[in-house]
Protein backbone atom coordinates (compact mmCIF):
# COMPACT_ATOMS: atom_id res chain seq x y z
CA UNK A 1 0.00 0.00 0.00
CA UNK A 2 1.37 3.41 -0.92
CA UNK A 3 1.08 6.44 1.32
CA UNK A 4 -1.54 7.87 -1.06
CA UNK A 5 -3.52 4.64 -0.91
CA UNK A 6 -3.30 4.72 2.89
CA UNK A 7 -4.67 8.27 2.95
CA UNK A 8 -7.52 7.20 0.66
CA UNK A 9 -8.24 4.08 2.73
CA UNK A 10 -8.42 6.11 5.95
CA UNK A 11 -10.73 8.65 4.30
CA UNK A 12 -13.03 5.91 3.01
CA UNK A 13 -13.08 4.24 6.44
CA UNK A 14 -13.93 7.52 8.18
CA UNK A 15 -16.81 8.14 5.75
CA UNK A 16 -18.11 4.57 6.11
CA UNK A 17 -17.67 3.97 9.84
CA UNK A 18 -16.47 7.07 11.63
CA UNK A 19 -19.29 9.45 10.69
CA UNK A 20 -16.77 12.30 10.39
CA UNK A 21 -13.23 13.22 11.31
CA UNK A 22 -12.60 14.52 14.80
CA UNK A 23 -11.52 18.15 14.70
CA UNK A 24 -7.91 18.85 13.76
CA UNK A 25 -7.09 19.88 17.32
CA UNK A 26 -8.72 16.77 18.75
CA UNK A 27 -6.73 14.63 16.33
CA UNK A 28 -3.54 16.43 17.36
CA UNK A 29 -4.31 15.51 20.97
CA UNK A 30 -5.05 11.92 19.92
CA UNK A 31 -1.76 11.82 17.98
CA UNK A 32 0.09 12.98 21.07
CA UNK A 33 -1.65 10.29 23.12
CA UNK A 34 -0.75 7.58 20.60
CA UNK A 35 2.88 8.72 20.45
CA UNK A 36 2.92 8.53 24.25
CA UNK A 37 1.68 4.94 24.15
CA UNK A 38 4.38 4.11 21.61
CA UNK A 39 7.00 5.82 23.76
CA UNK A 40 5.90 3.83 26.80
CA UNK A 41 6.45 0.53 24.98
CA UNK A 42 9.78 1.69 23.56
CA UNK A 43 11.04 2.86 26.97
CA UNK A 44 10.11 -0.44 28.57
CA UNK A 45 11.26 -2.71 25.75
CA UNK A 46 14.45 -0.96 24.62
CA UNK A 47 15.16 1.53 27.40
CA UNK A 48 15.93 1.29 31.08
CA UNK A 49 12.34 1.18 32.31
CA UNK A 50 10.55 -2.09 32.99
CA UNK A 51 6.93 -3.09 32.68
CA UNK A 52 4.98 -2.86 35.92
CA UNK A 53 3.80 -6.06 37.55
CA UNK A 54 0.60 -7.11 35.83
CA UNK A 55 1.02 -4.55 33.06
CA UNK A 56 0.14 -6.11 29.73
CA UNK A 57 2.87 -5.79 27.14
CA UNK A 58 1.29 -4.05 24.16
CA UNK A 59 1.97 -4.66 20.50
CA UNK A 60 4.66 -2.28 19.22
CA UNK A 61 3.52 -2.60 15.58
CA UNK A 62 -0.09 -1.86 16.51
CA UNK A 63 0.94 1.28 18.39
CA UNK A 64 2.99 2.45 15.40
CA UNK A 65 -0.03 1.84 13.18
CA UNK A 66 -2.18 3.92 15.56
CA UNK A 67 0.27 6.81 15.19
CA UNK A 68 0.23 6.45 11.41
CA UNK A 69 -3.59 6.29 11.34
CA UNK A 70 -4.01 9.58 13.18
CA UNK A 71 -1.26 11.24 11.13
CA UNK A 72 -3.07 10.16 7.96
CA UNK A 73 -6.30 11.60 9.35
CA UNK A 74 -4.65 14.94 10.05
CA UNK A 75 -3.10 14.99 6.58
CA UNK A 76 -6.49 14.33 4.99
CA UNK A 77 -8.17 17.02 7.07
CA UNK A 78 -5.58 19.66 6.24
CA UNK A 79 -5.17 18.81 2.56
CA UNK A 80 -1.60 17.54 2.88
CA UNK A 81 -0.43 15.03 0.28
CA UNK A 82 1.94 13.01 2.45
CA UNK A 83 3.55 11.35 -0.56
CA UNK A 84 4.64 14.71 -1.93
CA UNK A 85 5.49 16.04 1.53
CA UNK A 86 7.70 13.02 2.21
CA UNK A 87 9.41 13.34 -1.18
CA UNK A 88 10.20 17.01 -0.51
CA UNK A 89 11.34 16.24 3.02
CA UNK A 90 13.68 13.50 1.81
CA UNK A 91 15.14 15.85 -0.78
CA UNK A 92 15.67 18.54 1.88
CA UNK A 93 17.40 16.08 4.20
CA UNK A 94 19.57 14.73 1.38
CA UNK A 95 20.74 18.20 0.37
CA UNK A 96 21.29 19.35 3.94
CA UNK A 97 22.82 16.21 5.39
CA UNK A 98 24.52 14.47 2.46
CA UNK A 99 27.97 14.86 4.11
CA UNK A 100 26.96 15.49 7.71
CA UNK A 101 26.54 11.90 8.89
CA UNK A 102 29.29 10.44 6.73
CA UNK A 103 31.72 12.92 8.31
CA UNK A 104 30.46 12.37 11.86
CA UNK A 105 33.16 10.40 13.69
CA UNK A 106 30.68 9.64 16.49
CA UNK A 107 28.85 7.26 14.16
CA UNK A 108 31.89 5.05 13.55
Q: How far apart are CA 64 and CA 42, in angstroms?
A: 11
| Residue (of 61, 75, 87) closest to 31 by Cα position | 75
Q: Which pTM value belongs to this model?
A: 0.91
Mean pLDDT, residues 10-26: 98
**Band (16; pLDDT cuts 50, 70, 90):** very high
Pick the CATH number of 3-82 from 1.25.40.10, 1.10.287.1080, 3.30.70.60, 3.40.605.10: 1.10.287.1080
Give residue limits of the domains in the chain: 3-82
What does the pLDDT read at residue 57? 78
pLDDT tens readout for residues 46-87: 999 999 998 877 899 999 999 999 999 999 999 999 999 999
Query: What values do phi and psi take at 86, rounded to 5?
Result: -65, -40
Amino acid sequence: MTIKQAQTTVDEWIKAYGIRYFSELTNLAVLTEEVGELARIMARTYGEQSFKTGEAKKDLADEMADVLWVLLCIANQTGVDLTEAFRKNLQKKTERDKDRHINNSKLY
